[in-house]
Structure 1
C-alpha cells in the first residue's frame, strides 16, 4: 500500500498539474481570439509591469508594439485596450447596448456602501437599473436646472477671487491646484449636499473633512491588487474587503458622508410644507421623477422616483466625479494660459468684448456665450484629460471589425493616448485652442476627442463641470492674469494613474489687471 507521504505527494502533484492547466487555459484566451498581448508572469499576468510603471505608460508601450488593439491580464482577468476609433464608435455609440456597464466597482467600495446602506449611484450602476436611474437624473442637468444651481457656484467663485486677491497682494507664486481643489470641494459640498462651509477661508466641518479624507485615501494600486487577488481568491477577497470596510479610514469617511446626507434629507422632508426649498442637486434629486416611458406604459410611480439611499449614492458620485476633475481642468487651463500669454490675451479680449456688447449680462450667460472660452477649455482637456483612461464591460459576446469581445471582458479606452496621437492631431503637444473652432473641427473624427467619454454612458455631469469651470475663469480673468514665475515647471512632471496630476504641483503668479 502507498504510504501517507506518497499519497500526499501525489495529491500535491495533481493539484499543481491542475493549477498549471487552469493557468494555461486562462492565459490562452487572448491567443485563441487572435488578440496580441504582452508576455505574462504566472499568477500575476501583466500586473507587475503595470504596477511598476502606470496603466497609461503600459498602454502606450504595447499599443506601439501591437497596434490599436491588444489584450492583457490582471491575474487571470482579461482586459482589452482599444485605440481604434471605428471600433470605439461601435462600442460607445452604435452598439452601446452590448457595452452598457462601466468597470466593476471595487469590492471594498461595495462593502462600504453595504455597511452604510448607501445606494450605488450611477457610476457603477448596471443594466436596466442604470437606464432607469439615468432617465430620472438626466433632467437635473438641463440648462434650466443648471441655472438654478448657479448662485451656489457664484458664491464659491466670490470666495475664490477673494483668496486670489490676497495672493496677488503678497506677490508670491502659488500652487494653484491646491486652491482650485478647495474651491471645487467647497462648491461640490454646497451643490451636492447643501453644506455651506468656506474651505477657502480655512473653515471646516465633519462632512468636509470626511470628503477630503476620502479623496486622500483613494489608491489605484489597491484596486489593481484587488483585481489580481479576485482571480484566485474571490471568497477571501470578500472577507478581507468586509474587514477593510470596517477598519480602514475610507469606511469611516463614507459613514460620515452617508449619515450627514440622510440627516439633511430627513430635515428637508420635514420642512417641505414651508415651501422654502434650496435649489441644489440634492433637492433636485429629491423632487426628480422620470418622464413617462412610452415603451413601458405600465410603469408604476415607485419605479420613477429615487429612494433616499439612492439619492445619497448619486450625490456622492456627483462629488466624486466632479471634484478632482473640475479642479484639474481649472489648474491645467490656468497653467496653459500662464505659459501661453498670447492665447490668454485673446481669451481676455473675448471676455471684454462680450461684456461690452452685453452690459449687465449674468455670469451664467457670459460663461455660455464666449466661443473662445470653449475652445481654450476643450484644448486644455485634450492635453490634460482628468481621467487619462476609462473602461467598459462587455455584457454580450460580439465581434466588431474582426475583434471578438466575450461577455464579461473589460476593455480600456486610452483617452490620453488618443488625444496625443499625431494621427489625429497636428503637433499634438502644442496648445492651440483654434483646433476647436468650427474650421478646426471640420473633418475630424469625433472619437478623437473624448475627455468625458462618448455615447449614452458618457459623463452625465459634463455640462455642470464645464459651466463651473467657465464661470470661474470668466470671473478671474476680468480681474487678474495668470503669469509664469521662476517656480513654474515647464514641462510639467506628471503622475498618471486613475487620474493625472502634476508631481510637483503647478506654481504660477496671480497678477492684477
Structure 2
C-alpha cells in the first residue's frame, strides 16, 4: 500500500514538473491570463453553463488586452482578438489546421470542408468553389425570392394570430425553415414539398439537438474525451440525432443522383448579359447547377467518393441554413430595435421598387447599399460564429509573446468586432460605419465575420 502511494506521489510530481516547468509551460506562463492550479490549470474554472462560459470569455477580454491564455490540462490555449495577431494566424497557410473542438463535429460532418486540412481541404475547396461563382448564384435568385415571399406570408399569419394591437411572433423557427428550404433547393437541388415537411421538421429538430449537445460538451472539459463522452447520456443522444441527420441528407443525395442520371448536368453555362430580366428569369429556371451536382460530377472522374459527398452535403446543409438563419434573426432584431434605421431601409426599397410588387432581381440587390450596410453591421455585433480555432503547428510570436507549437489558438471574432479602438461606440448598431467613406483605413483583419485569409468561409 505504501509503495502504491509513493509511486502515485512520484508520478504526480513528475506530471507537475512537466506541465508547469517545461519550456512550453514557461512560455505560456509569460502570457497574461488567470492563475491556475497545479496539474489541472484552469480546467475547473471554465466548467460553467454555456451562458456563463460565454460571459467568462467576455470578462477575460475586458481584463486582458488583445491576448490571454488558458491551461486546461492537457490543452494549452491562447486567445487573441487583435487584428495584427489575427492576420499572422489567418494569412499563413501553415496554421490551417482547425482546433481540438472541431473534432467534436467529426461523427456528424466527417472530414468535410469545415474540418479537413491540407491537400484534402484544398481539393474539396477547388471542387466546390465554382458553385459559388456569381453566374451560378444568379440562377437561384428567383428561388430565394419565392421562399422570401412565403416567409413574409408566414410572418403575417403568425402576427394575425395575436389579434389587434402589438403583435409578436417567434421568428427563429420561421427563419430556420426558410433557410433550410432555400439551401435544399439551391445547393442541393431538392425541393421540400408538402409530403416532406415532417421529414424536414425532424431534421431541424435533430440539428437543434446536435447543437445543444455540442455546446454542452464544449462547456465541460471532462467531456472532451471521446471515450468519456460516448458513455454519457448526452453522447448517446448526440449520436442518435446525428443518425437522424444522416438519414435526411442521404435521401437528398439519392434524389439528386436520380435526377442527374435522368436529366444530366448543365455545366459551365453562362447567361447572356444582353437578355432582359424576364428572359434571364426564364433561363435561370431551366438551368440550375446545384452545388451537389458539382460533387456528383467530380465523382465520375474519381475526385470524390460517396463518403466525401455525404461529408460535404452534411457540412453545407448545416452551415448553409443554421448560421444564415442565426444571422437573419439578429439582423431583424437589430432593425426592430431602431425605428429610424427601419425607416431608412423602407425608403431605400421605395426608391428601387416604388409601388411595384414585381420580383426582386440581382440588379436590384446592387442598389441596396444601405441594407448591405445593415447586414454587415449586424454581422459585426452578432457574428453567427463568434470564434474560430487553429492549432499552431510551429512556434509563433503574438503580441510580443512567444507561443509554443501545439497550442490551440482561439480567435475571438465577437471581441475583435467590439473593440473601441477599431469601432467607435462599438455596442451601438450603426450601419453608417460601413458606408464607403467610413471604411477607409480600417485594418483588413478588423472585421472578419467569415474568417479571412486562404481558409476564409466559402459561404461569404
Do the two structures share a fold, i.e. TM-score over 0.5? yes
Determine whether 1:212 maps to 2:205.
yes
Query: Between Structure 1 and Structure 2, how many residues are aligned?
Result: 430
Using the alignment, how far apart are the partners of 1:67 and 1:105 within structure 2? 24
- The answer for the alignment partner of 1:154 in structure 2 is 145
Using the alignment, how far apart are the partners of 2:329 and 2:138 within structure 1? 24
Using the alignment, how far apart are the partners of 1:178 and 1:16 within structure 2? 51
- The answer for the alignment partner of 1:506 in structure 2 is none
2:31 pairs with one of 22, 35, 57: 35
- The answer for the alignment partner of 1:47 in structure 2 is 43
Asked whether the equivalents of residues 190 and 256 of structure 2 are also in contact (C-alpha less than 8 Å), the reply is no
Using the alignment, how far apart are the partners of 2:256 and 2:385 within structure 1? 35
- The answer for the alignment partner of 2:157 in structure 1 is 166
- The answer for the alignment partner of 1:179 in structure 2 is 174
Superposition map of 1:258-277 within 5 A = 258-275=246-263
Asked whether the equivalents of residues 67 and 399 of structure 2 are also in contact (C-alpha less than 8 Å), the reply is no
Superposition map of 1:56-95 within 5 A = 56-93=54-91
Determine whether 1:130 maps to 2:121.
yes
Asked whether the equivalents of residues 59 and 414 of structure 1 are also in contact (C-alpha less than 8 Å), the reply is no
Asked whether the equivalents of residues 112 and 311 of structure 2 are also in contact (C-alpha less than 8 Å), the reply is yes
Structure 2 CA distance for partners of 1:109 and 1:26, relative to 1, 3 Å: farther
Q: Deviations over 1:435-461 (max 9, x none)?
A: 111111112222221111111222111
Superposition map of 1:16-415 within 5 A = 16-25=12-21, 29=25, 31=27, 34-52=30-48, 54-93=52-91, 96-107=92-103, 109-110=105-106, 112-113=107-108, 119-169=110-160, 170-171=163-164, 172-197=167-192, 204-218=197-211, 219-226=214-221, 228=222, 237-241=225-229, 248-275=236-263, 279-288=289-298, 301-302=301-302, 305-356=303-354, 362-400=360-398, 402-415=400-413
What RMSD, in angstroms, separates the aligned Cα atoms of the two structures?
Answer: 3.2
Asked whether the equivalents of residues 382 and 419 of structure 1 are also in contact (C-alpha less than 8 Å), the reply is yes
Asked whether the equivalents of residues 417 and 423 of structure 2 are also in contact (C-alpha less than 8 Å), the reply is yes
Deviation for aligned residue 1:151: 3.8
Deviation for aligned residue 1:56: 4.2
Deviation for aligned residue 1:214: 2.5
**Displaced runs of 4+ in structure 1, greater than 6 A?**
244-247
Using the alignment, how far apart are the partners of 1:401 and 1:107 within structure 2? 28
Deviation for aligned residue 1:181: 2.2
Using the alignment, how far apart are the partners of 2:453 and 2:329 within structure 1? 27
Deviation for aligned residue 1:372: 0.9
Q: Deviations over 1:332-382 (max 9, x none)?
A: 222222221121111111122123599967433323431111111111111
Structure 2 CA distance for partners of 1:102 and 1:54, relative to 1, 3 Å: farther
Using the alignment, how far apart are the partners of 1:387 and 1:273 within structure 2? 37
Using the alignment, how far apart are the partners of 1:312 and 1:72 within structure 2? 36
2:415 pairs with one of 414, 417, 428: 417
Asked whether the equivalents of residues 28 and 403 of structure 2 are also in contact (C-alpha less than 8 Å), the reply is no
Deviation for aligned residue 1:400: 4.9
Asked whether the equivalents of residues 391 and 406 of structure 2 are also in contact (C-alpha less than 8 Å), the reply is yes
TM-score, structure 1 length as denominator? Answer: 0.75
Deviation for aligned residue 1:266: 3.9
Asked whether the equivalents of residues 27 and 76 of structure 1 are also in contact (C-alpha less than 8 Å), the reply is no
Asked whether the equivalents of residues 348 and 370 of structure 2 are also in contact (C-alpha less than 8 Å), the reply is yes
Using the alignment, how far apart are the partners of 2:366 and 2:298 within structure 1? 25
- The answer for the alignment partner of 1:295 in structure 2 is none
SS of corresponding position for 1:101: coil
Using the alignment, how far apart are the partners of 2:421 and 2:81 within structure 1? 12
Using the alignment, how far apart are the partners of 2:254 and 2:233 within structure 1? 26
Superposition map of 1:436-447 within 5 A = 436-447=434-445
Deviation for aligned residue 1:39: 0.8
Using the alignment, how far apart are the partners of 1:215 and 1:387 within structure 2? 16
Deviation for aligned residue 1:144: 1.5
Q: Deviations over 1:282-310 (max 9, x none)?
A: 22332359xxxxxxxxxx953xx322221
- The answer for the alignment partner of 2:10 in structure 1 is 14
Q: Deviations over 1:139-170 (max 9, x none)?
A: 11111121233343233223212212213434
5+ residue gaps, structure 1, are: 231-236, 290-299, 463-513
